Structure 1
Amino acid sequence: MRHKYQLILLGSEKAIRSTIVAQIYSKISELRLPEEALKIIDSNNIDEYVGNQPAFAIYLGDTNGDFKDLDITQRLIREGTMILPVFFKAFSKDIPDILSNQNGIEFKDTELDRIANIVLESFELLRNTRKVFISYKRMESSPIAIQLYEALESYHFDVFLDTHSIGKGEPFQDELWHRMTDCDVILVLNTPGFLESHWCKEEFAEAAVKQIGIVQLVWPGHKIEKIDPSSHISYPIQLTQSDFFDGIYNNKDQSKLLTEVVEKIIMEVESVRARNLAARQDNLITEFRNIAEKNGRLITVQPERFLTEDLPNGNHVIYIPTIGVPQSTSCQSAEIKNEIMGYEDVSIRLIYDDLRIRDKWLKHLEWLNDNFKKDIKTLKKQEFEKWLQKK
């Protein structure tokens, strides 16, 4: 994998590190992801840490106050890497002052699942968030598109394929843009006639605007197409005749990729997704925090990768960055995050980018905002400024 999820382990209690890592690997195995998708980093190999790839750190405290790796911790704080403090008796004694404003977890066997889930959630690795959009020209690569659709589904990806994913009577193009908004990676089957299609070109442009990662499968003898440089994450895979069963790559009805080639493609999709999801979420968090700071609002990033604000009247606000289209599961996630914080007087906002989401869904979200009994509402990107100007 070109891009890996970096788990940085700092502090004391090195024996416990292996217990935590084993639990995380167990969760990764449930998702049928390879262990090599996760790179373990500590003070001994910190030079291998890459700043532009997704990272999450766990700091294990010390009951005697013998705090280690403080220089590395300070560096990660400056770079905006999420750090989860884990304490054993008392947070204030076990955790260094530089992490005093972070929300920590007491280490217990019963909390191992939660610690592992926090790591996976920070990387957006839970099953219902691993969304892929297949872009292809039907007359040239339908059997390959269906093959990849089925393979990705078997690896617990939520896959969009136009012939399988759009219901009867739905406006085709509106639904297509809507579903693209909700995906993490676009898998492009770049056959010789692919970019002759107006809509295929539009899909490239849309991916660039939304900063969605692209994996481009280039057919044998076909040139790699240059993609708009504003599309910041794009990787080509040049296919050869030997990558296809019986070397048949140009038959619109019979072409089929070898199993090992399909597995390689799935690994590349996950690799691109690893970097792309973190970048999109970071962009949303950064934009919201910048607008908040400009308007004199103090926003805190929690280890579970959501934002909190303590209001002067004693109430609290939880902001949950939502990539793609907010769903009912986002509301369930919001309730869980409120349980984590233990707030009594709280309002929750799911912040999201509303570009290209279907009007009917936006109206549905607005209706929910007006009628939802609980104080869990959505807040779209174009309204950040207006919301944060309120006092």
Structure 2
Amino acid sequence: MKHYYQLIFMGAIDHRLLPKVKDVFFERIDELGIDRAFFKIIDRNNFGEEYTDANPAFCIYMGKKAENVFLDEEIINKLVKDATLLLPLIDEDLSQFNNLVPKAIQNYNGLSLLNLPMDLAVEKVVNNALEAFNLLKSKRRAFVSYKRTDSTGVAIQLYEYLEQHNFDVFLDSHSIRKSESFQDELLQRMIDSDVVVLLSTENYLKSEWTQKELSEANLASIGLVQIVWPEYTVIQGAQLSEVLKLEASDFIDNVFNDKNARLKDGSLIKIVQFTEALRARTLASRQDKLISTFMHYAEKSKVTATLSSHKFIELEKDGGKSIVVPAIGMPKALNCEESESLIQKIYEEKGKLDKIFILYDEIHIRDIWLHHLNWLNKYLPVKTKEIGGVSKWLAN
């Protein structure tokens, strides 16, 4: 197989974190429905025989200095020269970063594992790898759904805490400009999110809007991290849902029946961990829903459509061959550029492609963005197609 993704481990490769990273990485690959055979694991022992700068690569470097020499420094220098994406990790405070990683990557953004729970560290590293391979959106979006009269304090805490952990967080009181259409923008931001963090409190379902948010999240197959307050039950009907039941001890001073109640730091970390872990699964579910709908329309229209191992759809129509790429959320110009580059590389030896299409679900995407997509279609070689118009398109 000529095309594969290279996951590279360098530095202190015997570190206890790295085997767990490898195991969870492949669990996520399985959830995304991608053949494991497309991935090659590389370390210093097989680097010379297996590594190529022609294929996508991501390197995880576990920092450690041995006898005043940086481990694998020569290999790291080559990877930097090849413009390989690389994540340095250290067990110390970031103030010690330059003492633990080779000079060539001392200006990289590294991650300190100090005081970071193992499970959360693993999720962060794995998601970085998936993002580097364009298998997981690099824009990490979370939507906080809550009842203001019950949980404003915790909602604001989560907004700030998730932002600190590199999520782009939507909170209705913080994220909509005064001139925006509130309801339209709220629903579009939720549909464009990876995960909904739902604060399950006494009055959550007594609001028309929280009911609407729950219903739309289910329709769009968005994953829900359901945070259940003490003394209350899990909300039924949440499809892709991870449940975290809180105790009074999770709250500062054990106070939870107050809209200004606040969580302890350890509880906030658990919520971040749940949110990280659910991202790949919910994105895979939404992608599968787009693919299955498209394949249904293709079969109905008697058009040959084949799902590739990369989760692209190979479409034979009007005597030519095109590729359809399912996109989660709102397609943007960068999606088009990245898709064209990756697909042309994969299919470079399989003959000419007629067109590349980005497939998306247009529900709740505001008119202003639909006009933007139509404008992009006039100027970019990669075109967008809304799932609602696919049946008519394939029938013509």
Give 1:203-352 correspondences, 5 Å limit.
203-226=213-236, 228=237, 231-253=238-260, 255-310=261-316, 313=319, 315-340=320-345, 341-342=347-348, 346-352=354-360
CA distance in 2, matches of 1:332, 1:37: 29
Candidates 25, 49, 53, aligned match of 1:110: 53
CA distance in 1, matches of 2:324, 2:7: 28
Task: State the Cα distance separating 1:34 from its structure 2 match.
Answer: 9.5
Uncovered stretches (5+) of structure 1, i.e. residues with no partner: 1-10, 27-32, 43-48, 60-83, 87-105
**What one-letter code is carried by the residue in structure 2 that aligns with 1:350?**
I
1:20 paired to 2:26: no
1:68 corresponds in structure 2 to none
2:180 corresponds in structure 1 to 170
Task: State the Cα distance separating 1:50 from its structure 2 match.
Answer: 10
CA distance in 1, matches of 2:199, 2:18: 24
**What one-letter code is carried by the residue in structure 1 that aligns with 2:358?**
L
1:389 paired to 2:373: no
Deviations, residues 238-258 of structure 1 (Å, cap 9, x unaligned): 1111101222323433x2212
Q: What RMSD, in angstroms, separates the aligned Cα atoms of the two structures?
A: 3.5
Deviations, residues 58-109 of structure 1 (Å, cap 9, x unaligned): 32xxxxxxxxxxxxxxxxxxxxxxxx277xxxxxxxxxxxxxxxxxxx9534
1:358 paired to 2:380: no
Checking the alignment, whether the CA contact within 8 Å between 2:7 and 2:57 is kept in structure 1 is no
Checking the alignment, whether the CA contact within 8 Å between 1:321 and 1:351 is kept in structure 2 is yes
2:36 corresponds in structure 1 to 58
Change (3 A) 1:232 1:51: farther
Change (3 A) 1:20 1:149: same
Task: State the Cα distance separating 1:360 from its structure 2 match.
Answer: 2.6
Query: Which moves more between the two structures, 258-267 or 173-182?
Result: 258-267
CA distance in 2, matches of 1:364, 1:295: 29
CA distance in 1, matches of 2:226, 2:232: 12
Change (3 A) 1:285 1:192: same
1:30 corresponds in structure 2 to none
Query: Which moves more between the two structures, 109-118 or 157-166?
Result: 109-118
Query: Which moves more between the two structures, 349-358 or 302-311?
Result: 302-311
Candidates 147, 153, 157, aligned match of 1:143: 153
Checking the alignment, whether the CA contact within 8 Å between 1:132 and 1:157 is kept in structure 2 is yes
Report SS of the residue matched to 1:179.
helix
Deviations, residues 214-248 of structure 1 (Å, cap 9, x unaligned): 1111112223332x2xx421232211111012223
CA distance in 1, matches of 2:305, 2:58: 23
Checking the alignment, whether the CA contact within 8 Å between 2:33 and 2:311 is kept in structure 1 is no
Change (3 A) 1:115 1:320: farther
Checking the alignment, whether the CA contact within 8 Å between 2:146 and 2:155 is kept in structure 1 is yes
CA distance in 2, matches of 1:324, 1:35: 32
* Count of residues in Structure 1 that have an aligned counterpart in Structure 2: 311
**What one-letter code is carried by the residue in structure 2 that aligns with 1:127?**
S
Change (3 A) 1:335 1:143: same
Task: State the Cα distance separating 1:186 from its structure 2 match.
Answer: 0.9
CA distance in 1, matches of 2:155, 2:361: 28
- The structure showing larger relative contact order (alpha-carbon pairs under 8 Å, at least 6 residues apart) is 1
CA distance in 1, matches of 2:21, 2:198: 22
**What one-letter code is carried by the residue in structure 1 that aligns with 2:380?**
K
Give 1:364-375 correspondences, 5 Å limit.
364-369=372-377, 372-375=378-381
Change (3 A) 1:223 1:20: closer
CA distance in 1, matches of 2:19, 2:209: 38
Task: State the Cα distance separating 1:154 from its structure 2 match.
Answer: 2.1
CA distance in 2, matches of 1:51, 1:109: 21
Checking the alignment, whether the CA contact within 8 Å between 2:197 and 2:226 is kept in structure 1 is yes
CA distance in 2, matches of 1:51, 1:20: 12
CA distance in 1, matches of 2:210, 2:164: 26
Checking the alignment, whether the CA contact within 8 Å between 2:28 and 2:280 is kept in structure 1 is no
2:168 corresponds in structure 1 to 158
Uncovered stretches (5+) of structure 2, i.e. residues with no partner: 41-48, 60-84, 86-127
Give identity over the alignment, percent: 35
Report SS of the residue matched to 1:333.
helix
2:120 corresponds in structure 1 to none
